[in-house]
Chains A and B, each alone.
Chain A
């Protein structure tokens, strides 16, 4: 079987072939190829030996992604073209640098700007609270606040565009 897997920003090509021996496969990750012997300890724990190294991986699946933990490192692994289907589209920052969204589910506790205000890069715009912690969402770019899409006490989610900023400086006008 061949997989194209995504871990964070990186992709890995993985090939797994049965070797004919029990619990042993020939595996290829990108350009590296090894025989791998494995043992499923439980549905959530996988033990395998690769390149004379024993690896204990803990796994859980959710919504088409696998959460994998190996030696103190946690990874979320999915097929390359998998889209996390949560309904809301989380816009990529590079696509729309002037849009401000909270990093996690939270509640808006203060709004520090008004529509039409000019802001500096890094200026505080909105304060949200989650798990008893307040966080100030800052302007990712300098420009004019063209839209505020939220209100005090609103429950907001990652992907919600709370503030839209049009890049520029007041002198450009």
Chain B
């Protein structure tokens, strides 16, 4: 097995990967930018290497800097996490060329699947159903307008190199097409360095269901069941669950087979996710393959009992899969809520700033994959994800209640977060009934304001706190009482167990 791995990422996912590495007895190397000098992932690693300025292009996207950091520290493998260079074929190839093992699929597979129109062609050839639409791309608004007429409105604009909702918009009529195309092109150029776009028919009220797959270097491909990711805002998932409330054993079997076929058709290796849209009639269509560990992978871990990062590392080392399709079961129900630094009262606009106080929830069946701590300054340069709260329960309703309980005791003070909004979504009758479609938020929460039923209690708390703290300097209220990671992580960073 490897002795040392470099984690080419930041935030909660870097911390999560390091935890498994520690359990496997592997040394970890963190990388960081100026803005992240005191970030949690830096404190969690055995070693940390400074990459450069906060601007992603000069730090977490700097492939040569990352490879040099790995070689300098004697790391044998690079885990890319998600985002940044995780789905960058050139980076995967550059790692291999430098003698480093890239924990993910081979470069050419990432390239094929990352190019959404090439992926559509591969799946079409393998008889995996694809959404009606273009098989080629364009940057020309007029060409795209002609294609849209052929497909029929509403259409969805997508970036060839897409992911995370960047460069992606729904257009319902001809009038809005041109301006939207220009906006998507610019967003795609910035996010992926590739402004090429294509169109698909926009399905009405689909569900977003994806299958986790694992493929080893010995020709074995299995799936670890589905994840339902329909609750989205701005095409980014915010709540995920497994099993899907929609799923029937028959549909699960057919979609699982399609996912495995998709992986085999593309020559897939390591962990990946095959995403599908399922329409109102229960027909499913291939959407894309995410050639990396997904943000929402923990819900699969909770219901299957497998550590996906451990499996990724074992596969990268060359081990055959240690279990068969038949040996994997789904137990209970898991939910994940993404905690973003965003203001849900202001159209989910980003809300960076300093965390004045953090209280993580705990208790049975609760897992918090977290990248922040009290006193941490959330940078404006990166994605607004702070943490992921995951719960596991014997069934959907128990998991839902558990998630509400955990969210209600998850205090992140100093910035706006999605927590109060998530509580209301989980409590809503539509979510409780499992009516999760991708337009869920537009339908049920088009505008949202926090209810103020506990505002008088907050006023009361203010008064009592004044009484208790009378004369205490305000600054003393920040960052005291609960030990910060600086204090708790200090001793064992010195290399002593």
Contact = CB atoms under 8 A, between A and B. Distances in A.
Interface of A: 1, 3, 5, 7-8, 10, 12, 14-16, 18, 25, 27, 29-30, 32, 36, 38, 40, 42-46, 48, 50, 55-62, 64, 66-75, 77, 103-105, 109-110, 124, 127, 129-136
Interface in B313-359: 341, 343, 346-347, 349-352, 354, 356-357, 359
A131 B380 contact: yes
22 contacts: A3-B463, A7-B452, A8-B452, A18-B467, A27-B463, A27-B464, A44-B413, A44-B480, A44-B481, A44-B482, A46-B468, A55-B461, A57-B461, A58-B357, A66-B462, A67-B357, A70-B454, A73-B458, A130-B352, A131-B380, A133-B349, A134-B183
Nearest to B346: A103
A107 B347 CA distance: 18
Contacts of B341: 131
B458 A77 contact: yes
B464 A67 contact: no
Interface string B406-433: 0111111110110110010000000000
B478 A62 contact: yes
Given A44-B480, A59-B413, A60-B357, A14 B457 contact: no
B234 to A, nearest CB: 7
B359 A44 contact: yes
A16 B191 contact: no
A136 B459 CA distance: 36
A52 to B, nearest CB: 14
Which of B179, B356, B458, B465 has the most C-beta atoms of chain A within 10 angstroms of its own C-beta?
Answer: B458
Say which size band chain B's interface belongs to: 35 or more
A173 to B, nearest CB: 26
B482 A42 contact: yes
B474 A64 contact: yes
Nearest to B351: A104
A60 B374 CA distance: 10
B350 A29 contact: no
A3 B347 CA distance: 33
Contacts of B357: 44, 58-60, 67
A58 B481 CA distance: 12
Contacts of B423: 72-73
> Which of A38, A48, A70, A131 is most buried by chain B, counting CB atoms within 10 A of its CB?
A131
Given A1-B466, A59-B477, A73 B380 contact: no
A131 B416 CA distance: 14
Given A43-B481, A44-B477, A131 B452 contact: no
Interface in B445-459: 450-452, 454-459
Contacts of B346: 103
Closest 10 CB pairs of A and B: A42-B481, A60-B356, A131-B350, A58-B411, A57-B461, A12-B459, A72-B408, A72-B423, A67-B413, A61-B477
B388 to A, nearest CB: 17
Majority DSSP secondary structure for residues of A touching B: strand
A50 B481 contact: no
Contacts of A10: 452, 455
A36 B459 CA distance: 13
B452 A58 contact: no
Given A131-B341, A131-B382, 19 more contacts: A14-B459, A16-B467, A43-B481, A44-B480, A46-B468, A59-B357, A60-B477, A60-B478, A67-B356, A68-B461, A69-B359, A70-B457, A70-B461, A73-B423, A73-B450, A103-B343, A109-B186, A127-B183, A134-B187
B97 interface: no
A56 B456 CA distance: 14
A71 B466 CA distance: 21
B384 interface: yes
Given A59-B413, A110-B186, A131-B350, A71 B408 contact: yes
B481 A29 contact: no
Nearest to A136: B183
A18 B464 CA distance: 10
A92 to B, nearest CB: 16
B382 to A, nearest CB: 7
B352 A74 contact: no
B459 to A, nearest CB: 4
A45 B380 CA distance: 28
B234 A133 contact: yes
Interface string B139-150: 000000000000
A31 B350 CA distance: 38
A67 to B, nearest CB: 4
Nearest to B341: A131
B246 interface: no
A59 B465 contact: yes
A74 B419 CA distance: 9
Contacts of B351: 104
B193 to A, nearest CB: 14
B383 interface: yes
A53 to B, nearest CB: 9
A133 B482 CA distance: 34
A29 B416 contact: no
Given A57-B458, A103-B346, A131 B384 contact: yes
Given A12-B459, A131-B382, A43 B480 contact: yes
Contacts of A38: 464, 468
